[in-house]
Amino acid sequence: MRTSLLLLSALISFVMVASAANFNQDIDVTWGDGRGKILENGNLLTLTLDKFSGSGFQSKNQYLFGKIDMNIKLVPSNSAGTVTTYYLRSEGSTWDEIDFEFLGNLSGDPYIVHTNVYTQGKGDKEQQFYLWFDPTKDFHTYSLLWNPQRIIFSVDGTPLREFKNLESKGVAFPKSQPMRVYSSLWNADDWATRGGLVKTDWSQAPFTAAYRNYKADTCVWSSGKSSCSSTSPSQNSWLSQELDITSQERLKWVQKNYMIYNYCTDTKRFPQGLPKECTAP
């Protein structure tokens, strides 16, 4: 009897974990005419790009704050000209957006991880990074933490970037528009690789990116209400999460060794002065 109960408990735990990361339940493939596929009973999703079209998906739910984790294996080999995106975005002409974009490259050359934050339709907050591993060999976890105090971009638990809420300094921060998770794989060879100098090699097509283990610890927004308003803050620790000392040191390590572009140091781009958040303490 005890063995049966233990097996039942383990089965229930497995089902709960599996359902939490089931693409059939959480995701809609929205474009690509069959090039986006949900496989393995909802545990794997692939996006494909060929000469005729890319593909993409979005979350069924909208969120107003959350911690989103996704395991992604990027397009291997010669991925020059391709862009794989993974981001949060609201609707409308004055949208908010929190962006991961992975810019493909020639075989042997590193991917560029492009990040940006938009508020009320205005971005211009780009930071770009190389990675310290090959993101095409295996799945890695790409995370977006978005709470009222900060946005943190992380890879395998290591922070790449923190964008703080500095509204007190006059800096806009996305906090009032619910957003969906989106991802796409598309051709951007007019700009993606070396400013458009390297074009997509269609003899390498189809190009495929793979996704697993989608996890959304979020405040779901529905009918004008947040699912978090009726729950204890202790159940949503990410709502007040910040970088601890170790994470701050890891962030400094990444930005010292792997950051290749930072809008906050681009004085030629901002001759009238750097944006306020760049000079805030």
pLDDT value of residue 236: 84
- Is 101 among the catalytic positions? yes
The domain limits of the chain are: 21-223+236-274
The active-site residue out of 40, 91, 97, 277 is 97
- 3-state SS of the chain is CHHHHHHHHHHHHHHHHHHHCCHHHHEEEEECCCCEEEEHHHCEEEEEECCCCCEEEEECCEEEEEEEEEEEECCCCCCCCEEEEEEEECCCCCCCEEEEEEECCCCCCCCEEEEEEEECCECCCCEEECCCCCCCCCCEEEEEEEECCEEEEEECCEEEEEEECCHHHCCCCCCCCCEEEEEEEEECCCCCCHHHCCCCCHHHCCEEEEEEEEEEEEEEEECCEEHHHHCCHHHHHHHHCCCCHHHHHHHHHHHHHCEEEEHHHCCCCCCCCCCHHHHCC
Q: For the residues 27-34, what does the mean pLDDT come to?
A: 98
The model's pLDDT over 165-202, given as tens digits with 9 standing for 90+, comes to 999 999 999 999 999 999 999 999 888 788 888 899 99
The model's pLDDT over 108-137, given as tens digits with 9 standing for 90+, comes to 899 999 999 999 999 999 999 999 999 999
pLDDT value of residue 233: 58
Provide the CATH topology of domain 21-223+236-274.
Jelly Rolls (2.60.120)
The active-site residue out of 40, 91, 101, 167 is 101
pLDDT value of residue 253: 98
- Is 97 among the catalytic positions? yes
pLDDT value of residue 107: 85
